[in-house]
Structure formats: C-alpha cells, structure tokens
Amino acid sequence: MAVILDGKMLSAKFREGIKAETEILKHKTGKAPGIAVILAGDDPASNVYVTSKERTAIECGFHSVVERVSANVTTEDILKLVKKFNDDDKIHGILVQLPLPRNCDEKTILRAIKPEKDVDGFHPYNVGLLNIGEDCLMPCTPFGVMNMLADYGIELSGKNAVVIGRSNIVGKPIAAMLLKANATVTICHSKTKNLAEICSKADILVAAMGRPKFVTREFIKTGAVVIDVGINRLDGKLCGDVDYDGVKDMCSFITPVPGGVGPMTITTLMQNTLKAFKMIEKL
C-alpha cells in the first residue's frame, strides 16, 4: 500500500520552523522579512491565492504588502510598482501574481524584479543559476516537491525520473532540480510519442500537465513514487493529473490532490522570502 505524501501536514511543520527562525532573526536584527505581492485585475482564483499568501506571510511573522491594481493597468504602471519595491529596504521578496492582464508585458515585468528579491524564481538570472546547479531562488511549486521528497527520505540519486510537462514554472525547473539530485531525467510533453511506455519505466514520476486523471495504471511502474502537480476541476471537484484511486495500490509513495503538492507551494514562497531576507541582510 502506498504511503500518502501529506503536503498539508508537512507545510504546517515547515511553517512552524519558518516562524521560529523569523522570531529569532527579528530579535537579533530588529528587522522582519518583507514580501510584496502585486495583483492586477480581478481574476477570482488569483485573488484567492494572493489572500492566502498574505495570510500565511503574516502568520510567519513577515511584513506583508499587497498592491491590488485594476485590469486596465499598463506595463509601465506595474514597472513603477516593481521599482518601488526594488528600492524598498523593508521588502525582500517581490511577487507579481500571474496571469497578468493581456495588455501587460509579462516578460519585461518579471525581468524588472531584482534577482535577489525574485522569490518566485522566474527571473532569467535565477533560471540560469538553477540550470548550472548553483544556489539561487527557485520556483516555489517544484522546490516544494523537492522538499517533500527530501522530508520523506526518498532517494533520488541514480533513479529514473520522468517529468510530464515542460512549462517554465513546473516541468523544466523540476527536471533541473531532479538532475541536480543525480536522478536520470526524461522530460515528456504534448508531442512525446509512447508517453505511457516512457512513464512506465519511471522510479519517480512527476505529472504537471493539467489534464484531469490522465495518468492511469499503464503509466506506472510497480513501486514508483508518483508526484501529482496537476490541479483540475472535474464534475465540480478538484482532481490531479493522476487517476489517484486507480493507481495508488501500485505506488510506493503518492501525493493526493488536494492536500499534496498544493499546500507546499505557499510554504515554499515563505521559505524563499526568508532566504532572500537572509541574503540581502547578510545574516
């Protein structure tokens, strides 16, 4: 029977650690880690994420600022906000909530964030460092997955890892992180032939495709570790990219949806903010 990788429990444990360390650093320096989130438009899902980020930051003892601007905002307006937070000594992490309204130039905006405050790890400078295996701020969802694998003591060195999905926020960075952990990594995507056959050789299978319950028994090697990053809605209910009930008896470890990878993402954002604080304040 598979061990369920409990992201809810783990993120609560990590948050306690972040809170305790923040408390100590506040006493020592008189300063707190600060995070600024820019939310443009009124997308309901983005609003929920940002509110949750704000609540978690405050719970961790951080200084938290949220700038909510209308969907009619221009690239220039957002660049001004980014500059304001780049220059603000109380802010150590800046996050621009995606997706941005269509009229905004996402690339230009993300590149304007100072790399040392880029707590989403999307700036090409941090992407480059990740890909040459150097210490940097790393994207939250894949870094959260790595923390989860480490906490459960799952060995990666020499293992066959298959990642389904090649996005810049999940697929590519998790592949780079698994490679750094000495796994042998294959990246699959929408043009990959014989997907199920490739996946069925994986000791570690990461599904990040956004296709509800796509990964079925024929994709799974008996004893595999299965990480489901997908968040989909099917018949009004949340589900992952993996057919959880159909495959779980074949796996050694598996993440549920909800309650697996999802809760780790915001916690990892807090870890990144604390890391940026320590780097910037030279602690």
Q: How far apart are CA 162 and CA 202, in angstroms?
A: 6
Cβ neighbours around 174 below 10 Å, total: 28
- Indicate the helix (H) or strand (E) that contains 154: none
Q: How far is the CB of 258 from ligand NAD (least distance, A)?
A: 9
Start-to-end CA span in the chain (Å): 44
Is 165 annotated as ligand-binding? yes
Query: Which of these ranges, 56-64, 116-124, 204-212, 217-225, lies near ligand NAD under the rule CB under 6 A?
Result: 204-212
Is 167 annotated in a binding site? The answer is yes
195 contributes a contact to ligand NAD by CB under 6 A? yes
Range 124-149 burial, b when 16+ CB lie within 10 A, else e: ebbbebbeeeeebbbbbbbbbbbbbb
Active site residues: 53, 97, 120
Considering only 39-47, 82-90, 113-121, 229-237, which stretch makes contact with ligand NAD by CB under 6 A?
229-237
Applying CB under 6 A, which of residues 256, 262, 272, 277 lies at the interface with ligand NAD?
262
Which residue is associated with the tokens 């800046």? Answer: 94
Does residue 209 touch ligand NAD according to CB under 6 A?
yes
Of 14-22, 23-31, 73-81, 167-175, the window that binds ligand NAD (rule: CB under 6 A) is 167-175
Tell me how far apart the alpha carbons of residues 103 and 84 are, in angstroms, rounded to a whole number: 21
Instruction: Determine whether the annotation assigns residue 64 to a binding site.
Output: no
How far, in Å, CA of 230 to CA of 156, rounded? 21
Return the residue of 109, 188, 202, 225 that touches ligand NAD, per CB under 6 A: 188
Query: Which residues of this protein are in contact with ligand NAD, per CB under 6 A?
Result: 141, 164-167, 169-171, 188-190, 192, 195, 208-211, 229-232, 261-262, 265
